[in-house]
């Protein structure tokens, strides 16, 4: 037992020596660096996720207000998407953008996107004006492909907006791309997108011509439907009783009470 104890005291501690080796030190530093990168990229992605949520909330507020107060909503449908980390890094690599948070933030501006479908062409501009006019929304860029369609017939109103995201320790601006278009424009764009990728971006000339003709037909439909809508608005009589007014369901006695307070 004594010899065993003496041998233990005199022998070098191999585990301690191994733990203190330069290789292990480098591994620890690498792991710490990876953990920091992961934390930064998570914060980066969450900023766009929160910015997207703020914009969608603003749009839904407008939609509900128009539905219940104005009895008509120019917003038919809202969808949103957030690029995956993999797709962001792949796009950065394709464009030769340094794989740094600041470089990606400055050069890739479509990480967060919202698509708004409207009934009529005038509604697209109306929604763009209302969103762009809000105090905490900054419009960085506008591309009007409705007034100036792409050669293939694509139409849409694109806005690049910036919105502040209030985090626990900072306020971080986030860019969100808005695509605002009519239902007809959206239908055409969805079909064109599927064909575009089916033919691996090399659409046959004959099919491309047909797509362009379809875009022109959709545009004529938009114009005709808006004209009909305006005509109906002109001849439609206003509601005359409280029961005919759509909105939140309110008991008749409560409506009468509100009317009394308003006239008293």
Residues 161 and 175: beta-carbon distance below 8 Å: yes
Tell whether the torsion through CA atoms of 257, 242, 130 and 84 is positive or negative. positive
Alpha carbon distance, N-terminus to C-terminus of the chain: 104
Residues 180 and 109: beta-carbon distance below 8 Å: no
Q: Any idea what DSSP says for residue 73?
A: -
- Phi–psi pair at 178, nearest 5 degrees: -105, 130
H or E element at residue 78: strand 75-82
For 174, half-sphere exposure in the C-beta direction (CA atoms, 13 angstrom radius) is: 25
Which candidate in 29, 36, 76, 177 is catalytic? 177
Task: Give the β-pairing of 75-82 and 171-182.
Answer: unpaired
To the query of whether residue 202 is one of the catalytic residues in this protein, the response is: no
Nearest by Cα to 59 from 44, 39, 79: 79
- Which of the residues are catalytic? 177
């Amino acid at each position: 037992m004594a010899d065993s104890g003496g041998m233990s005291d005199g022998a070098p501690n191999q585990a301690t020596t191994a733990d203190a080796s330069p290789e292990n030190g480098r591994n620890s530093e690498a792991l710490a660096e990876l953990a920091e990168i992961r934390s930064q990229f998570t914060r980066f992605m969450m900023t766009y996720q929160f910015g997207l949520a703020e914009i969608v909330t603003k749009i839904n507020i407008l939609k509900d207000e128009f539905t219940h107060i104005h009895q008509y909503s120019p917003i038919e449908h809202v969808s949103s998407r957030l690029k995956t980390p993999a797709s962001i890094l792949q796009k950065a690599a394709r464009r030769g953008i340094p794989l740094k948070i600041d470089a990606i933030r400055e050069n890739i501006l479509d990480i967060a996107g919202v698509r708004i479908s409207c009934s009529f062409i005038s509604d697209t501009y109306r929604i763009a004006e209302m969103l762009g006019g809000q105090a905490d929304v900054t419009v960085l860029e506008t591309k009007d492909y409705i007034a100036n369609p792409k050669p293939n017939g694509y139409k849409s109103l694109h806005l690049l907006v910036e919105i502040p995201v209030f985090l626990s320790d900072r306020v971080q601006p986030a860019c969100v791309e808005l695509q605002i278009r009519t239902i007809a424009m959206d239908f055409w764009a969805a079909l064109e997108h599927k064909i575009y990728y089916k033919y691996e971006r090399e659409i046959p000339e004959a099919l491309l011509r047909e797509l362009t003709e379809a875009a022109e037909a959709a545009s004529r439909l938009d114009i005709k439907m808006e004209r009909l809508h305006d005509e109906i608005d002109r001849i439609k009589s206003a509601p005359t009783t409280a029961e005919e007014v759509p909105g939140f369901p309110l008991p008749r006695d409560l409506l009468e009470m509100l009317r009394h307070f308003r006239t008293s």
